[in-house]
Amino acid sequence: MMFTTIQLAYEDGVAILTLNRPEKRNAISFELIDDLLHALDEVAKSDAIVLIVTGAGKAFCSGMDLENLKSLLGRTPEQNLQDSETMVRLFRTLYEFPKVTIAAVNGPAIAGGTGLALLCDFTLAAPGAKFGYTEVRIGFVPAIVSTFLLRQVGEKQARDLLLTGRIFDAGEAHQMGLINEIVPADTLMNRARTLAAQLKENSAASLRATKQLLTDHSRAELDAQIGAAVRENAAIRRTADFREGITSFLEKRKPVWTGK
């Protein structure tokens, strides 16, 4: 399949998926989400044992594309709900992917980019990588990502990251257990390939079964939490603060919140 926003290559049992919008810092667009879902489906059906996800250029993924962000102001309630369900599908597909996944975070991974980076089985990051659940800073709610973050860190740390919306670096992410290793930028992909080679020494059947076991353990809890997250994600878009947050962000000014 041909993709316009990503690149997908195969190297001896390893699939390498590269977010390929360097001029947009690999920002998440509706088209990118569609490409990612199709690519993940292709890799899942392939002979690849390991999937490496990385970004082209200086960023891993800078969050939502500005044009797409602007378009959210004109979406209907039905479209908002559909958008939320699509994002859940992307994140959950990656989180429950049947092949082993490695994120090679070459630069900033913000908002939705943080979600993509940290939902992989292994996350390797360059020293200059930055992360942040910045949704509250633009009047949004981190409903979907919070479901996964609470499983990865303690509640106190999750509250800190989600309520402040602050940016944190690779060192702090490593300290919290959100990333596995900090790797020099010039050797990041080599390290990802080395890890992939190590994983390939294991039984492919055992890897699949182990991942299925982990997925089965979390499915019931995720099913219960995701429904509420989708509704909250869609509902916040009807608020005045959401409209002000998006507008002020696009206009590069400080937002004037009303709490409505």
Confirm if 128 and 170 have CB atoms less than 8 A apart: yes
pTM to 2 decimals?
0.95
Residue 107 CA neighbour count, 13 Å, CB half: 15
**Known catalytic residue: 172?**
no
Looking at residue 158, its pLDDT comes to 97
CB atoms within 10 A of CB 37: 15
Confirm if 145 and 114 have CB atoms less than 8 A apart: yes
Per run of 10 residues, the mean pLDDT along the chain (length 260 residues) is: 95 97 96 98 98 98 91 88 92 96 98 96 98 95 92 95 98 98 98 98 98 92 87 91 94 94
Residue 227 CA neighbour count, 13 Å, CB half: 5
Q: What angle do CA 135, 136, 138 make, to 5 degrees?
A: 75
Looking at residue 168, its pLDDT comes to 98
Burial of 205 by CB count in 10 Å (0-12 exposed, 13-18 middle, 19+ buried)? exposed
Sheet containing 130-132: give its strands across.
109-110, 130-132, 167-169
Of 11, 135, 201, 221, catalytic = 135
Looking at residue 229, its pLDDT comes to 87
Structural domains of the chain in order of their starting residue, each with its CATH number: 6-200 (3.90.226.10)
Between the CA of residue 140 and those of 134, 145, 167, 233, what are the distances in Å?
Answer: 9, 12, 16, 8
